[in-house]
């Protein structure tokens, strides 16, 4: 299954939704932050990502 969280407008909560969805899924996930200007998923994860399942 592939899920994409997207919006053309900034500040709509895309990162928050994506991180929380990745955390609550009971399955291995890959979370990609494709924001080229301000990628900030790492701020939500606080160092828990190690190239493994999050």
pLDDT at 50: 59
Tokens of 16: 């928050």
User: Measuring CA to CA, how many Å separate 1 from each of 4, 7, 9, 25, 44?
Assistant: 10, 20, 25, 12, 23
49: how many CB neighbours lie within 10 A of its CB? 14
pLDDT at 20: 94
| pTM score | 0.75
Q: Which tens digits make up the pLDDT trace of 5-51?
A: 999 898 999 999 999 999 999 889 999 999 888 899 989 887 655 55
């Amino acid at each position: 299954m592939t899920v994409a969280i997207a919006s053309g407008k900034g500040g709509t909560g895309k990162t928050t939704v994506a991180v929380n969805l990745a955390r609550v899924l009971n399955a291995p996930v890959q979370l990609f932050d494709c924001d080229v200007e301000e990628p900030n998923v790492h701020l939500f994860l606080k160092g828990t990502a190690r190239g493994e399942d999050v």
